[in-house]
């Protein structure tokens, strides 16, 4: 019995070391998911999904009216689950800009035809470089951008109905 008591601190130390190492492997301290909140949208030019012409993202988001920039992909299951929420936001007057992340344009178009297309503008980030500049950590992600192009909030997960209500309230302010 005393032998087990003598090993207890060692066992606790080993368990803590395992816990901290698992945490460190899953949490990169360099990743700051909300690093761009309060800053202007990066100066990105992306091809349009519709015709391939270059579009400056910041110009789409500086028309004086707040917009939502949604990063999504046809291969993303949560993006499909989020689609009805985005369609509802569109019906309620929100302006959405979609960025297809690391996706094939034909697949993106088929995805939008299947789940609905809530976007006023559809852009393509085929190689993911724009996602790096935006700080995308996964899809879907949605950014609330004010009418001057400043990122006010980031939602790094599929939007829920509750998130949509919060976003609509902020868009209408």
| Alpha carbon distances (Å) from 88 to 159, 160, 162 | 11, 11, 12
On whether the CB atoms of residues 116 and 88 are closer than 8 A, the answer is no
* Stated pTM of the model: 0.80
The β-bridge relationship of strands 96-101 and 121-125 is: parallel
* 95 CB burial (10 A radius; 0-12, 13-18, 19+): buried
| Rounded-to-integer distance, Cα 144 and Cα 166, Å | 11
Query: What stretch of H or E contains 107?
Result: helix 105-115
Give the tokens for residue 64.
Answer: 């004086």
Mean pLDDT by 10 residues, the chain (173 residues): 61 56 45 76 96 96 92 97 97 96 97 98 96 94 95 95 90 80
Domain 31-172, CATH among 3.30.450.40, 3.40.30.10, 3.40.50.300, 3.50.50.60:
3.40.30.10
Per-residue pLDDT of 13-39, as tens digits, reads 655 555 455 444 444 444 455 778 999
């Amino acid at each position: 019995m005393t032998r087990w008591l003598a090993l207890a601190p060692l066992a606790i130390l080993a368990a803590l070391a395992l816990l901290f190492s698992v945490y460190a492997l899953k949490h990169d301290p360099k990743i700051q998911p909300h690093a761009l909140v309060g800053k202007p949208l990066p100066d990105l030019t992306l091809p349009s999904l519709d015709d391939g012409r270059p579009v400056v993202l910041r110009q789409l988001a500086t028309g004086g009216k707040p917009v939502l920039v949604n990063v999504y992909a046809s291969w993303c299951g949560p993006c499909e689950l989020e689609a009805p929420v985005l369609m509802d936001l569109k019906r309620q007057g929100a302006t959405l800009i979609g960025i297809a992340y690391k996706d094939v344009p034909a697949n993106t178009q088929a995805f939008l035809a299947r789940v609905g297309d809530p976007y006023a503008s559809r852009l393509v980030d085929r190689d993911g470089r724009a996602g790096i500049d935006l700080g995308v950590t996964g899809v879907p992600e949605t950014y609330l951008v004010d009418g001057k192009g400043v990122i006010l909030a980031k939602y790094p997960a599929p939007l829920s109905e509750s998130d949509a209500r919060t976003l609509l309230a902020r868009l209408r302010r």
